[in-house]
A and B are shown apart, each in its own frame.
Chain A
């Protein structure tokens, strides 16, 4: 915990609005989807929060020894839970599309199978 605090604690200037809010670009997309869908009424924020609490509790109850806690992984899982529960998408479709994206040839613009994300996510709907 001390190490975490050292990076982002008292030393972080309070008005640094340019402070890195998201560690990786995909986190900002997951954040944006949840907020947008809640505003649009696909689910309520309370419902999303319930799913987030459940996902965090599940991670805390059962994770590999030494595995780093990643808040936005829980957030993404909660988002998928809510989208599926709302009947908007089914889990198979998301998994299938993910697998399809994973198979893009190397050298493709967006062939980022690792955690090198990018700041947009639309326009691939072909």
Chain B
């Protein structure tokens, strides 16, 4: 590859150049950076959110706390950090279906869901969920009945949202660990419901 105008250089090269320069100037400690990357690549994911949901389903006091002060209740489970400083938990009910989007970029509650999936970042999702949420949800496999209200939450401030899905019928005998295994990332964004096992 020969030299190209600056803005045409591949992101591979620009990223490498940027990192070299920042490390040389001691603005970045490579060990700290590698830890951040590894954490979000391997450790932090939707299982955290699933544990929060399962505890809320099995512990009414925790559920009340979670809905009142999501940040503190989630931190109580050991899940905190960037993009989780101001958590608001939205409870799905028989009357209202909540769904989360970030129209301007792709804000997402990292501590409980990890980094966002590609569809969440897609311009089609970001624009469509605001304009025609019922249609987008149907395209994603979720039919929300006509009579049910859909509330779309745009993560346009520092707030990050987590959806508390409805506990499926027939799961009365399951403990929190078994329940957590049922909870999907999509249900915690509001584009799916949790299915019974």
Contact = CB atoms under 8 A, between A and B. Distances in A.
Contacts of B121: 69, 71
A120 B185 CA distance: 29
B169 interface: no
Contacts of B186: 9-10, 14
B175 interface: no
Contacts of B59: none
Interface size class of A (residues with CB under 8 A): 35 or more
B123 interface: yes
26 contacts: A4-B124, A8-B118, A10-B186, A15-B45, A23-B118, A26-B11, A26-B16, A28-B41, A31-B115, A33-B15, A33-B22, A33-B33, A35-B82, A36-B32, A39-B36, A40-B27, A57-B104, A69-B121, A71-B121, A76-B11, A80-B18, A94-B14, A97-B18, A121-B23, A121-B30, A125-B24
A48 to B, nearest CB: 10
Nearest to A16: B45
Interface of B: 1-4, 6, 9-25, 27-30, 32-34, 36-37, 40-47, 50, 82-83, 104-107, 114-115, 117-119, 121-125, 128, 139-141, 158, 181, 183-186, 192
Which of A14, A24, A38, A101 has most chain B Cβ within 10 Å? A14
Contact of B107 (A49, A79, A94): A49
A93 interface: yes
Nearest first, the 7 A-B pairs at minimum CB distance are: A113-B1, A95-B6, A97-B17, A1-B124, A17-B45, A121-B19, A98-B17
Q: Majority SS of interface residues in chain A? A: helix
